[in-house]
Structure 1
């Protein structure tokens, strides 16, 4: 008898889940927002717990999944009708890099650090921050990247461009902390680093948000926010003089 009940519950649960997914839409499968991610988990838990709880019958399985599916459909319907409601439920992308500059406030707002940003860039086949003009963190946790024009993909054979040796960029300073092991690994020392920073009017390591070395392209440095403001003020003063 238990086998019969379990078989019926499985069949009912299977078709109920199928109907809800078809009715609500494919977004619950792709989980393109935090809400759909949580909704998919809860929907699976409702069905799984109901199947293995002998005190719950077929009626309760259908009832719980119908209520949950109805709520999902209501939220999706309101999201399509009202833009403000859509913004609350789904959220909106955050610009992590603007005009080639990493937005530290956006990183902090999204509870991210430079390491995590670099990891996401690597997963998108972008090995250096210097390549990025704009980077957006989507609501599902993925990133969208617009590269600077000179880093956008072109077919070398179309322009008869000779192949060059490919080098991996190395992060030397991150959040004001010098990564000495990385510097020594590429054959440089402290005096070289100070010289490179002095060429960009930076004296203290703590004034550097991120510094990255790429063979053949030199040192890329983004100062911290306070340092950027100071450098801009000095530039204006020199212009007036």
Structure 2
């Protein structure tokens, strides 16, 4: 009887610890997991599961284990918020697997993605032929984002009799206060021009910008830090 009581108490403490862990880390960590977050959750579940059925493990030790593991994940989460390098290290970067209607075989090989898998993922997004795809991006959580060619996507501005060019992907110029120099060159823009655009908006440095991108049709979009 005491053994069952021990399991019950440990489960209650484990549940309480996991509930606090979830509240502290936030909902985003459990929506669509990156590979690192997936491993972190597996380790956490294994930690609690093994501890519950070990008679010599106390409830306090379970809570302590959850606390230490939670602090490690929380610290890494804070680092990834502040540093793009750390974010890339732990979360990876999105990969363009279809660019302008053409498969990027080297990118697919790096991500261990074969054609059958790609076609399956596209079908789940509602696209049944590669001819329909302008861009496809493999996200860090393993999902795929699709920009269809104009004939296969939602009604475009041209369909509505409006001027404009479809099938464009905005180019990120500033991310978390850091200039994306390579992207600036791809957009055929100069840094003095960008600084002047920011100055016109009352922003004196890149650190004052959370996010900025360039679209040839719609121009520069800037989201300052709050």
Query: TM-score scaled to structure 2, two decimals?
Result: 0.66
Alignment of 1:89-108 (within 5 A): 89-108=90-109
Q: Contact 1:28–1:39 at 8 Å: present in 2 too?
A: no
Cα offset, 1:27, TM superposition: 3.0
Q: Deviations over 1:100-141 (max 9, x none)?
A: 111111111111121111111111110000100000001111
Q: Contact 1:27–1:36 at 8 Å: present in 2 too?
A: no
Instruction: Confirm whether residue 88 of structure 1 aligns to residue 85 of structure 2.
Output: no
3-state secondary structure, aligned to 1:8: helix
Q: Contact 2:13–2:63 at 8 Å: present in 1 too?
A: yes
Alignment of 1:16-55 (within 5 A): 16-55=17-56
Gaps of 5+ in 2: 161-226
Q: Which has the larger radius of gyration?
A: 1
- The CA RMSD over aligned residues, in Å, is 1.7
Q: Deviations over 1:152-173 (max 9, x none)?
A: 1349xx99xxxxxxxxxxxxxx
CA distance in 1, matches of 2:116, 2:58: 50
3-state secondary structure, aligned to 2:154: coil
CA distance in 2, matches of 1:10, 1:118: 43
CA distance in 1, matches of 2:60, 2:33: 31
CA distance in 2, matches of 1:57, 1:106: 48
Instruction: Confirm whether residue 117 of structure 1 aligns to residue 112 of structure 2.
Output: no
Number of paired residues?
157
Instruction: Confirm whether residue 58 of structure 1 aligns to residue 59 of structure 2.
Output: yes
Query: TM-score scaled to structure 1, two decimals?
Result: 0.62
Q: If each structure's helix is expressed as a fraction of its own residues, which one has the higher value?
A: 1
Q: Contact 1:28–1:37 at 8 Å: present in 2 too?
A: no
The residue number in structure 2 matching 1:142 is 143
Gaps of 5+ in 1: 160-241
